[in-house]
Structure 1
Amino acid sequence: MKKSLVIAALSAHLTTQLFAGGDIAPVTVNEPVLEEVAHGHHEESKFYVVVAGMMLLGDEIQHGEALLDGDNDYGYGFGIDIGYRLGNGFALEYDYTYGKNTVYEITAHDEVKATSTYHTSALDIVYTYEATHKLGIFGKVGYEFEWEEISELNIDEREDDFVFGAGIEYALNKKYKLLAEYEHSLIEGPHGDAILAGVMYNF
């Protein structure tokens, strides 16, 4: 029925133009335009990687009858995150970090200086809120496994617990973002909390 009406209308238009001796006006058919629907998150690639330098803030913990003090000197290290965006601001990340800091074992009669090294592997859920087109605010929660070694004190430990993080990211372009993050683990250690700063690359 609709096709018949369209054909009839076109025929009437052509007939009128011919009998009037005028030029036939072109009939323009507008194609439907697909509108982009904004959901608060601009389109990004699914996979990304973050490479960051890390500063360890140090902490004091009780270890048997001794106190392990990592507060005196800031430690250092690096972190690597591999992420997959799930959509609506959520992402799944695998994190690896390596760190080193100076630790003092303090007892009633002695103080021993040592070097602590540790590795962590974690699986996190991340949510990022895009405050502006370039600035994002994120939070993460995950579960991590930690390997810590202080060879001078004969400490070689494996622990696991929850880890939390929060930070900001700033987009330089579609491929690169600058990132800063504060990280806190429920695993107690002389390395303490960590601050990371680095670059994100979107594939």
Structure 2
Amino acid sequence: MNISGTLNFFKVLLQPSLAIPTYSVPTFDHVPSILANLPEIHALVIDKDNCFAIDGTDSVYPKYADTWKLLQTKYPNRLLIVSNSTGTRNDGRAEILESNTGAAVLRHTTKKPGCFPDILQYFSKHGINNPSSIAVIGDRVLTDVVMGNLNNAPSIWVSEGVELSNGIFQVFERWLVNYLQKKNK
């Protein structure tokens, strides 16, 4: 169970704007077009499952290989994979993912959206201390987007992911963002 996610859901109920992404793209290969207009971004936090990889796999989805290489070139040693499925346990998958992607995987005991202090600690070793210079990229509103918004880090919501999910939480998140964006126009 994601205790951090559950507790932060109540924050969203009190402050719904926490669920509104700063930017939205349908798929991961659209992320560079957003980042091209954000010179103040110096580091990336990227979710794994259904963002750049198929759920349960430990490698970049082939369609996104060129995008991944581009981001690695633009953000050397400043691209951090933060996943609630990999990196939260010492199961060896983090090492496999690092080997397959060439990017660091955050080891954390608190799941998203509550692990941002660990993210800041990681990036401080690379000279990045300002949350607003770290973009949070992911397909989940109630973890990735909320984590960015809670910490003044811009969020890029990958709305369709690798595969458009019709799971109850994903359908709810898409409805919620659509509703909140229309309400705030």
Fold shared per TM-score above 0.5:
no
- Greater helix content: 2
Higher RCO (Cα < 8 Å, 6 or more apart): 2
- Greater strand content: 1
Return the TM-score normalized by structure 2. 0.23
